[in-house]
Chain A
């Protein structure tokens, strides 16, 4: 069965520190992978996506993610966190042009000054 696991429910980092949010997936076919960010009371915004090719993908707001097929992982990273990055982050897997998307339960990020 398809599933996405985000093992960290909540992470706190200091402003300027590096960040890594973990995501593991279970998917029977070649996955399409996504990271979304959600600010309180708002919809989800796409940070980045991986469909194929280079396994290190760059996204908006200085985020990047690396697809590791052997580990079934798609971890999100940022070298230096800004206070405005405080939000909820969701990893998702999809079938590309299909109609099924599976989301993790999210990781809440707190940034302390």
Chain B
């Protein structure tokens, strides 16, 4: 069966520090991969999606970036965090069944 994991689950970082959130999918190949952000009390904002290794599409201009170094690995990064980057980050994947499957989420607090 397919599984998705993301880490770390919780992260507290100072303003201006770097960020790396990782996500891996198991049990499937060539998935579409996504990073969403969920601000407190708000819906989901699509940040990045990827249809293959090295192929990244950005939905919202910001100081975040994403990379897909391997087929089932998706990384969300920042060189310098802003206060506004605080939120709940969700990795997700989709395949040929048409629905999205989400990871457990990563809570980022920027102080």
The residues of A with any CB-CB pair to B shorter than 8 Å are 32, 34, 36, 41-46, 49, 51, 90, 92, 94, 96-97, 99, 101, 103-106
Contact = CB atoms under 8 A, between A and B. Distances in A.
B98 to A, nearest CB: 5
Contacts of B111: none
Interface string B88-106: 1010101010111111110
Interface of B: 32, 34, 42-44, 46, 49, 51, 88, 90, 92, 94, 96, 98-105, 107
A92 B100 contact: yes
15 contacts: A41-B105, A42-B104, A43-B90, A44-B102, A45-B102, A46-B99, A49-B98, A90-B44, A97-B96, A99-B94, A101-B46, A101-B94, A103-B43, A103-B44, A106-B43
- 5 A-B pairs with least C-beta separation: A105-B43, A43-B102, A44-B102, A96-B98, A103-B44
A99 B100 contact: no
Contacts, number: 53
A105 B44 CA distance: 7
B43 A41 contact: no
A94 B98 contact: yes
Contacts of A99: 32, 49, 51, 94
